[in-house]
Amino acid sequence: MSTKVDDPRVIEFDVRTDEMLINMGPQHPSTHGVLRLILRTDGEIVSEVEPHLGYLHRCAEKIGENLTPRQWVPYTDRMDYLAGMNMNLGWALVVEKLLEHDLPEKARHLRVVISEMGRIASHLVGMGAYGLDLGTFSPFLYAFREREKILDLFEKACGARLTYSYLTPGGATGDLPPGWVDECRDFLAQFKPCIPEFHELLTNNQIFISRTAGIGVMSAATAINYGCTGPVLRGSGVPYDLRFNGEERYTEMYEGYQFDVIVQDPETGKYPDPHLKEFGDDLDYPEIPKEAILGDCWHRFYVRMLEVVQAIRLVEQALDKYESASGDWGQPIKLTQKLPKGEAYLETEAPRGQMGFYLVSTGDSIPWRVRARSSCFCNLSVTSELCRGTLLADVPAIVGSLDVVMGEIDR
Amino acid sequence: MSDLVSQLKERFGDGIVDVNAETIDDWIEVTPDVLLDVCEFLAGDSAIKLDMLNCITAVDYLHTDPKKAAKADFDPHMQVVYHLSSIEHKHTLVLKVKVDRWKNGEEGSLPEVPSVAGIWRTADWHEREVYDLSGVLFTDHPNMKRILCPDDWVGYPLRKDYEMPLEYHGIRGR
């Protein structure tokens, strides 16, 4: 937001101010990990932001040149550690693309269940942590209460709560345990009525709206030029979702599923019908506040909230399909499977944006080169553009709305 | 793909070195000299409009083991790979540039590729990362410095002949 001289919030206009460099981070709790920002300020107004990365760099790509694809799966967990399942999926798909390995029907639906549950868990953290960024603690607790239940389900499926390594090239490490599907349905049934709660806590909250609406506005052209993807891109009004527009190997996973791309309709100014009434509640979705401008922090947050609902729809459909599908859960490929000579690149729609993996092989069982294209890396690069000319207090609001995870940026 | 290739060949002639349409992802190889013009054309042309740069990767082709190097089917070189896609037309393209591992064969002087940060801002950070980890210098880049490693780090970790330093500010490396 540009600041005008008559803006009553800027009291320093009568006071002489000097340019000052402020260091924010790398241990600042509102930066979603160890991100360091150098802010050049004049009074309350930020003129320049320079992010410094690399505090969480763990040489994942170099390690990938020394391990077989299946051995590298645990390293993908540790990239976006809030959506480990989706990272596993991206890597599994690219290895399968190189091997031209096809999955049984059941494995396909199992992957939809797992990755969409991962999306819900990840967006819950995104929502709760965003509340923390803006100085409210309670949404965080509500979000983590629900996320905990998803983690319990994941724990039952694969034994781990954060670093799953469950989806693996070839399928998954095992089938879902007996009774899991019913437990998952129970969870969804009790989770649905919680969504209006979240909206009351944040989306509709006047303080929240004042802190986010009209702040950090990003045009669609800027978002595309900076390579922003995921909710950040769709929050700027670009209808692009890899589950629809991606490569066939990925989109065929979602074939036959009913769900919407969450993006504001440029003509009506409305988001797709979120089907909240279906959830047995009279509450309709909150109206878009009049202060909100397409591409601001509020819209990015709202897109994430609506995606949670779409994810629930997908999981419900996938559970039905999973139960009636034929085949097994997909036997993992051999640990030392020889890779054909060649290269493959594939992007998937992870919760935070498009996560791409690039695999080059010279015909060995160990890849010649692996590369992880991080969505947050590109999303974060737009910070300096968005923060120019804003108030100091808006910087955490803007960085938080991009929902970055440093593990994925630094790899 | 074949349409695009003939268009590019007509426009840039010898700048288009190699085209491969049989692999899993089709790719086009261009010379570093024409890279900037090719990218400007690909991003600007309304029928192609590759408006999003997904990823820049550098792949180091070098066998450090002399026995394997004798059998290898490639000469040592560095490849810079650009993955492009179009939001509007929903298509993708892979562009490759081949450069020597060291400029003029002198160890220590980095190979140079023109920066595309003026066309896609994504390239700004991606090129810094490639420079940082693989040691490719992007000419005319607005801010060519390391991004993930500390500024005073020595060497380029993703090169195949990289050796971990013995120590860094008193911390044992290996």
Spell out the per-residue pLDDT of chain A, length 411, in tens. 455 555 655 555 566 777 888 888 787 555 577 888 899 988 888 888 998 888 888 889 999 999 999 999 999 988 888 888 999 999 999 999 998 888 888 898 999 999 999 999 999 988 888 888 888 888 889 998 999 999 999 999 988 888 898 999 988 888 889 999 999 999 998 888 888 888 888 888 888 888 888 888 899 999 999 989 999 999 888 888 888 888 888 888 898 888 888 888 777 777 776 665 666 555 566 778 888 888 889 999 989 988 888 899 889 889 998 888 887 888 888 888 888 988 899 999 999 989 999 999 988 889 999 999 999 899 998 998 888 888 888 888 898 888 888 888 888
Residue A86 is predicted with a pLDDT of 92
Angle at A224 between CA A221 and CA A226, to 5 degrees: 105
Cβ <8 Å between A61 and B158 = yes
* Sequence-ordered list of residues with C-beta below 8 angstroms from that of A241, at least 6 positions apart, any chain: A234, A261, A262, A349
Q: Which amino acid is at A222?
A: T
**pLDDT tens per residue across span B105-123:** 788 888 999 999 889 989 9
Partners of B167 in the beta sheet?
B172
- Distance from A21 to chain B by nearest Cα, in Å? 19
Q: How far apart are CA A31 and CA B158, in angstroms?
A: 28
Residue B9 is predicted with a pLDDT of 80
Q: Is any Cβ of chain B less than 8 angstroms from the Cβ of A225? A: yes
Q: How far apart are CA B142 and CA B115, in angstroms?
A: 9
Cβ <8 Å between B25 and A344 = yes
- Using only C-alpha atoms, what is the Rg of chain B? 18
Q: Tell me the residue length of chain B.
A: 174
Select from A212, A213, A236 the least CA-distant residue to A223: A236
Q: How far apart are CA B99 and CA B59, in angstroms?
A: 11
Residue A29 is predicted with a pLDDT of 55
Q: How far apart are CA B161 and CA B155, in angstroms?
A: 10
Select from B115, B122, B117, B111 the least CA-distant residue to B159: B111
Supply the DSSP string of A294-360, one letter for each residue: TTSHHHHHHHHHHHHHHHHHHHHHHHHHHHH--S-S-PPPPTTPPPPSEEEEEEEEETTEEEEEEEE
The yes/no answer on whether domain A60-410 falls in CATH 3.40.50.450 is no
Q: How far apart are CA A224 and CA A236, in angstroms?
A: 10
Q: Cis before residue A8, ω within 30 degrees of 0?
A: no
Q: What is the mean pLDDT of residues B17-27?
A: 81
Q: How far apart are CA A156 and CA A403, in angstroms?
A: 28
Cβ <8 Å between B24 and A342 = yes
* Highest CATH level, class, for B2-172: alpha beta
Tell me the C-alpha to C-alpha distance, in Å, between residue A46 and each of A20, A218, A385, A395.
10, 17, 11, 8
Q: Which two tokens stand for residue B63?
A: 């066998």
Answer positive or negative: Cα dihedral of B38, B43, B48, B53.
Answer: positive
The minimal CB distance from B122 to the residues A358, A369, A378 is found for A378
Q: Which two tokens stand for residue B87?
A: 């939001």
Residues of A in contact with B149 (CB under 8 A): 54, 57
Q: Count of A–B CB contacts within 8 Å?
A: 80
- Distance from B6 to chain A by nearest Cα, in Å? 24
Q: Which two tokens stand for residue A404?
A: 């970055």
Select from A237, A230, A93 the least CA-distant residue to A167: A93
ipTM of the complex: 0.88
A357-361 long-range CB contacts below 8 Å, 24 or more apart? A357/A76, A357/A90, A357/A91, A357/A93, A357/A94, A358/A94, A358/B55, A358/B57, A358/B81, A358/B83, A359/A69, A359/A94, A359/A95, A359/A98, A360/B59, A361/A98
3-state secondary structure of A285: coil
Q: Residue A29 gets which letter from DSSP?
A: G
Select from A300, A390, A410, A382 the least CA-distant residue to A26: A410
Instruction: Enumerate the domain spans of chain A.
Output: 11-52, 60-410
Select from A344, A356, A358 the least CA-distant residue to A100: A344
